[in-house]
Structures are given as C-alpha cells and as structure tokens.
Amino acid sequence: MKLWASLLIVGIAAAAPAWGQAAAGDEAAIKLPAPRLDGAVSLEKAIQGRRSVRGYSGEALTLAEAAQLLWAAYGITDPRPDGPAFIRGGLRAAPSAGGLYPLEVYLVAGKVTGLAAGIYRYVSEKHELARIETGDRRDALCLAALGQAWIREAPASLVFGAVFARTTKKYGERGRERYVWMDAGFAGENVYLQARALGLGCCIAGAFLDDKVKQAVNMAGDEVPVCILGVGRRR
Ligand SMILES: Cc1cc2nc3c(=O)[nH]c(=O)nc-3n(C[C@H](O)[C@H](O)[C@H](O)COP(=O)(O)O)c2cc1C
C-alpha cells in the first residue's frame, strides 16, 4: 500500500479537532509580480525532471515564485474583457470544459518572502491575491491531510476548490463525474511543471478530509476541495 494511502487510514483516527473557527474574511487585495514568460528550463526538461518532492529545505519561497505558480495553475493568458461573463476575464493557462473554469485556487502561505503568513484566494482576472485570513495555517492543513508532514514543511501550498455548479449547469452529471476533475488535473500538472522549471519541488495530496481542508483554508460553502499542492525548495 502507498504510504499516503496508509496515512489515510491512520490519519482518520489521529486527526485532532484543533481547528479554530476561521475569522470572517477581510479580503484585502495584494497585487502580484507579473509572471515571467521565459525561463532557463525547457518544457521537455521540466517534463523529464518532474517528480513528486516531499522533502523541503525550510527556506521561504519568494512572492515572485508563488505568483508564477499561481499563474501557471490558473492565470489569464488570453484576456477577453468583452467575452461572456462565465469566462470571468479571459482564457487561462489550463484548459477547461466549456471555458467555465470551475476551480478556485487558494494559497496557504507559511514562509513566502514579502507576504504575511495566511490564506489567500488567487484572483486570476487581476493577477492578485485576496487575503482571507492571516496566520500560519500549515499545521491545520497538514492535519486535514491526515498528518502528511511534508505539507507542514512546505513553505506554501496551493489548494484547489471546485464549484461544480459552474460546469454541471451546462454539462450535467458528465461535468460532475469527469470534466471538473480533468480541469483540475490540467491545472495541477501546470503547477508541477512550473515548480520544476523554477527549480522547486512540488507534491500533490489527494488524501485528506474534505471538511477539515475546507475549514483550514476557509473555503466557501459551495466549494469542494480537490487537491493540495505543496511547494518548496528541495532539501
Ligand atoms: C490524484 C493523486 C493523488 C495523490 N495523493 C497523494 C497524497 O495524498 N500524498 C502523497 O504523498 N502523494 C500523492 N500523490 C502523488 C503520487 O504518490 C505520485 O504521483 C506517484 O507516486 C508517482 O510519483 P511521481 O509523481 O514522482 O511521478 C497523488 C497523486 C495523484 C495523481
């Protein structure tokens, strides 16, 4: 059995109900550095070198690195200011069934230079962060992910939530069973490859307790947590 699969079993028993009630959000906006459109590592080398990395040095990420990862996940790459409302600003780095973009991307910042530890929501159309809550929530996220320690050690994690209704209102059950998950896979792989291209390590976690992840990142009621992507400098 995979380590993280056995953690699922152990973690359900061990997870302590230590999560505080999240404070009501103050959604202060934080402008992010513009994404770089070139880099030292070719796409082919990033694919070849991509691995799930669970050992991090403890060093901080820079705000520019965090911004680049968020952009790779769900940044607007083709603005459509006059496009239909459902596109919400333009076409993005990852494909999406019907251009409906069901995902919300959160940054759980622990050690990010120039950014207070806290929970942030990525606002793709402005390439901004909306601050939801300050304070280091990595412990809560780690416990929500059944005690997978690398999530606490990663200086930051991206958490994807899905608003299924955006996709199911057009595609019905096919949207629920297939398209939203496919959308998340594309965006998640972008994060892996971007991390590799930046010389960072990244790992996805799908083993977690949904309610606890929602509490840890203060996710809206209609969102379903899809995955956690821890990122940091390799040890
Ligand atoms: C949907 C999904 C869920 C995963 N969940 C976890 C997880 O909870 N914890 C973990 O350590 N790795 C998790 N992984 C990472 C896999 O263990 C990893 O991709 C696999 O061992 C292959 O290694 P590689 O990514 O380095 O190629 C997950 C991967 C996927 C695609």
Q: Is the distance from the beta carbon of residue 204 to the nearest atom of ligand 1 less than 6 Å?
A: yes
Burial 48-63 (b: 16+ CB within 10 A, else e): eebeebbebeeebbbb
**What confidence score (pLDDT) does residue 14 get?**
38
- Given a cut of 90, whether residue 116 has pLDDT beyond it is yes
* Distance (Å) from CA 205 to ligand 1 centroid: 6
CA angle 47, 88, 196 (to 5 degrees): 15
Q: Is the distance from the beta carbon of residue 174 to the nearest atom of ligand 1 less than 6 Å?
A: no
**pLDDT band at 27; cut points 50, 70, 90:** low
Residues 6+ apart with CB under 8 A from 143: 11, 15, 16, 18, 19, 212, 216
Residue 3, SS3 per DSSP: helix
**What confidence score (pLDDT) does residue 6 get?**
54
**49 neighbors 199 (Cβ within 8 angstroms):** no
Average pLDDT over residues 122-148: 97
Nearest CA to ligand 1 atom 13: 205
DSSP conformation class of 111: S
Closest CA to 201 of 104, 64, 61: 61
**What confidence score (pLDDT) does residue 158 get?**
99
**145 neighbors 151 (Cβ within 8 angstroms):** yes
**108 neighbors 156 (Cβ within 8 angstroms):** yes
Atom of ligand 1 nearest to the CA of 53: 26
* Distances 187 to 28, 53, 211 between C-alpha atoms, Å: 25, 18, 22
**Which residue segments constitute the domains of the chain, with CATH numbers given?**
46-128+138-233 (3.40.109.10)
Atom of ligand 1 nearest to the CA of 4: 9
The residues facing 90 across adjacent strands are 79
* Distance (Å) from CA 53 to ligand 1 centroid: 10
- Whether this prediction's pTM lies above 0.75 is answered by yes
- Given a cut of 50, whether residue 42 has pLDDT beyond it is yes
Task: For residue 118, report the phi and psi dihedrals to the nearest 5 degrees.
Answer: 165, -170
